[in-house]
Amino acid sequence: MKILLVGSGGREHAIAHRLAVSPKCTELFIAPGNPGTFQCGTNVDISADDISSLLAFAKTSNIDLTFVGPEQPLALGIVDAFESEGLTIVGPNKKAAQLESSKAWAKAKYDRYKIPTAGYQEFHDLDSAIEYVREKNTYPMVIKADGLAAGKGVTIAQSMDEAVNALNDCFVHQIFKDAGQCVVIEDFLQGEEASLFAFTDGDTVLPMISAQDHKAIFDGDKGPNTGGMGAYSPAPVFTPDVQQKVMDRILNPLIEGFKRDGIRYKGILYAGLMIDDLGDPYVVEFNIRFGDPETQIVLPKLTTDLVDVLVAISQNTLHEISLDWLKNYSVCVVMAAEGYPGSYEKGRKITGLNDSSDSNSFVYHAGTNQSEAGEFFTNGGRVLNVCAEGNSLNDAISSAYQRVSRIQFDGAYYRTDIGQKGVARLKPAV
């Protein structure tokens, strides 16, 4: 089977690796890919959002199955374009993709389907938004750009000044461009965050292993949000009881509601959740694709052939699939460029990538470039995803940070507390 994977980040490197090990995959193409995906298949120099060129490539190359990694091409309607030409592609169509591409649209669906989430209001101008903030006067308060903002469009405002600054960023400074023309202001949810991915063909929902992302740039969850600074899996806060609640109250009602509304959602569901002290889950957000960097530690646990799963989604036979998982712990530490999530320099030489004999650790490329001489250089904000596995969470954390210590580039930054929330939860009560 000839497979096309769309995307270029660390998530796509992890997906490419799982696809490449499948005996069903005879050829794998990654568009545009990166120096890591090059090790898994053939990189194709087509941007992930160049839908017409991707479509032409899929047709001329006789691609049997296309899978989309990032949200942007899904929001632009790549699935609609491919399906209109009779090509098999796994992912939600443009209408269903609004689950991530429009927070206001998604929140309205949660209300309609009685899915637990934070209270909210949406605004299309600065004055009414500021008036609402002033009258509400309850902090923290969550302010979100409505559209896609690469994980950076959310502010947890601790004061009126912070809220006004966030609103000005959207409406006045327009730092999120069209994504900030509508703003959703939410009540702050108390609890601990966790992520759950699931496969769905529009009828059946198969949950994956839980994970916990670390969005903030600094240790202790301080500073601005990023695309994700690290993750670990499974998340101890996500007990079997919590998972059943998520299935009963969130994932299944969402898919059933979509069906009633004539929306066919196929592909990956990514539920970003808040778990309160009673173990009750609330939706923080939904994404329409695998998360990054959670994918890098969840997919390696999957022992079921990923190609079989994707084919079942495309053929509406997911109910015939059983997912099998490794039982170990896994951790991902993101090595970022100095200045991220703000401005940063590219082109800094990376050394030590292969300086390890630890078979329990591995590195996914996220924002790198490779010279003709074979040297690696930084080429993005999140540069590398350093991952490790272990029989205990502490073992996995230790292996990941040991591998991190061997990798160098000027200005390299990473959080030092990835996984510590999980360690605290796993400690026996004294």
Residues 280 and 366 both lie in one domain: no
- Does the pLDDT value for residue 98 go beyond 70? yes
Q: Distance between CA 146 and CA 105 in Å, rounded?
A: 9
Boundary-marking domain end, from 181, 207, 229: 181
In a domain, 176, yes or no: yes
Torsion of CA 79, 85, 86, 87, to 10 degrees: -50
Q: Distance between CA 4 and CA 173 in Å, rounded?
A: 38
CATH code: domain of residue 58: 3.40.50.20
In a domain, 186, yes or no: no
Q: Of 409, 232, 258, 244, give the one whose Cα is nearest residue 333.
A: 232
What's the DSSP call for residue 304? S
| Residue 358: pLDDT band with limits 50, 70, 90 | confident
**Using alpha carbons only, how large is the chain's radius of gyration in Å?**
21
Residues 378 and 396 both lie in one domain: yes
CATH code: domain of residue 230: 3.30.470.20
Residues 47 and 137 both lie in one domain: no
In a domain, 113, yes or no: no
Q: What are the pLDDT digits (tens) for 410-419?
A: 999 999 999 9
| Residue 183: pLDDT band with limits 50, 70, 90 | very high
Q: What are the pLDDT digits (tens) for 261-270?
A: 999 999 999 9
Crossing angle of helices 10-20 and 306-314, in 10° steps, is 100
Strand partners, 90: 67
CATH code: domain of residue 419: 3.90.600.10
| Residue 430: pLDDT band with limits 50, 70, 90 | very low
Peptide bond into 224 cis (omega under 30): no
Residues 199 and 308 both lie in one domain: yes
Q: What are the pLDDT digits (tens) for 371-392?
A: 999 999 999 999 999 999 999 9
Domain count for the chain, please give it: 4
Crossing angle of helices 126-136 and 160-171, in 10° steps, is 160
Peptide bond into 234 cis (omega under 30): yes
Domain that holds residue 134: 125-181
Residues 234 and 215 both lie in one domain: yes
Average pLDDT over residues 252-276: 97
Average pLDDT over residues 209-218: 94
**CB of 195 closer than 8 Å to CB of 210:** yes
| Residue 356: pLDDT band with limits 50, 70, 90 | confident
Q: What are the pLDDT digits (tens) for 224-251?
A: 889 899 999 999 999 999 999 999 999 9
* DSSP H helical ranges for 229-325: 240-246, 252-260, 295-298, 306-314
Look at residue 359 in the predicted model and tell me its pLDDT: 86
Q: Is 272 helix (H, G, I), strand (E, B) or coil?
A: strand
Look at residue 354 in the predicted model and tell me its pLDDT: 87
Q: Distance between CA 378 and CA 409 in Å, rounded?
A: 8
**CB of 121 closer than 8 Å to CB of 308:** no
Boundary-marking domain end, from 285, 320, 355: 320
* 253 CB burial (10 A radius; 0-12, 13-18, 19+): middle
CA atoms within 13 A on the CB side of 43: 17
**CB of 295 closer than 8 Å to CB of 228:** no
